[in-house]
Amino acid sequence: MACRILVILTLSALSLMGAVLNAQEATREGPKPRAEVQKLQASQSSAAQSDAQECPRIFSESRAISPAKSWGIRSPNRQVLAWSVVVLQKDPELVRGQVFLWNEQTRQRQTIFETRTKAGKIISTDPHFSDPTYNIFCVVDWSPDSNDLLVHEVLGTLYSDVWNDSYWIYNRMRGQRELIDLKPLKQAIEKYWQKNALDFRYVRYQTLAVGWEGGKSNRVVFMSFTYHQEASLFLGIWSVGSAGKEPKLLAEKEDGLIVRPFGQIVDPPE
């Protein structure tokens, strides 16, 4: 369970994970000098913690624009495009999300994630939310081999500061999606930091997926950090395997690893 303040503003296009956006926007501008690249990489790493929380913010006012689209993310092999859409429903007041795939070769669109409703209500997938009114999906990035798409789901209640974050991997070759179990990762984080005298009975912390480990390993990378603490503490950069198995620490410090984006930021189809 994660807490955040819901900002009530005009609905704008859904933001993607900032660490991915910043890096890929930079690639549009062409090569940069080495010093500038190093500076950019450092800013990407230090900003990832805050930017990764931008995607779940949905803005609701009477002047809201709906539906709102995110940027598209094209797979590394340039065959498939993925993007998110958020719809603000007025009566009853609900926020619903979708994720679409566009096949660049066949020119066909496919819905791979969508808020499920019944009798005008969102069907809850979490026992903590019996009557959710907010459910969105955020595209994070494609895996290096272009087969898997990392998607962030947020479920909660409008005008509340309590939400649940879930992460899915969609395999486009099999047409299947798999939920990442965060329990092994959280157990590993707590075990590691308990050795450093951190008492998790009094600590609230969050784990945010920021991309893929890369290479031939399709492992998902998470950043973890405390919140609602007088002095926030970074809890490391971690990766997990299939379904959240075999968590491992990649770097203890926030600037200890640059998470490379693999997809390309583009405009979504009309």
Q: How far is CA 94 from the centre of its chain?
A: 21
Residue 192 contacts by C-beta under 8 Å, 6 or more apart in sequence?
236, 249
In a domain? residue 177 = yes
pLDDT at 269 over 60: yes
Assess if residue 234 is contained within a domain: yes
Residue 122, C-beta contacts closer than 8 angstroms, at least 6 positions apart? 94, 96, 115, 116, 131, 132, 133, 134, 135, 155
Q: What is the mean pLDDT of residues 252-264?
A: 90
**Higher-pLDDT residue of 12, 87:** 87
Asked if residue 270 belongs to a domain, the reply is: no
Q: Which of 247, 191, 192, 260 is nearest to 219 (CA)?
A: 247
- Is the confidence at residue 176, as pLDDT, over 90? yes
**CA trace torsion 203, 253, 191, 200 (10° rounding):** 0
pLDDT, tens digit, 9 for 90 and up, residues 107-160: 999 999 999 999 889 998 888 788 899 899 999 999 999 999 999 999 988 887
Task: For residue 194, tell me if it sits in a domain.
Answer: yes
Q: Specify the number of domains making up the chain.
A: 1
The percent of residues in the chain predicted with pLDDT above 70, rounded, is: 75
Residues 6+ apart with CB under 8 A from 247: 184, 185, 187, 188, 189, 238, 239, 240
Domain of residue 148: give its range: 2-263
269 lies in some domain: no
Residue 54 within a domain? yes
| Residue 221 belongs to a domain | yes
218, 261, 262: which is closest to 240 by C-alpha? Answer: 218
- pLDDT, the chain, mean: 78
**Model confidence at 22: pLDDT above 50:** no
pTM: 0.80
**Structure confidence at residue 222 (pLDDT):** 96
The pLDDT value recorded for residue 66 is 76
CB atoms closer than 10 angstroms to residue 229: 12
Is 13 within the bounds of a domain? Answer: yes
* CA atoms of 90 and 21, how far apart (whole Å): 30
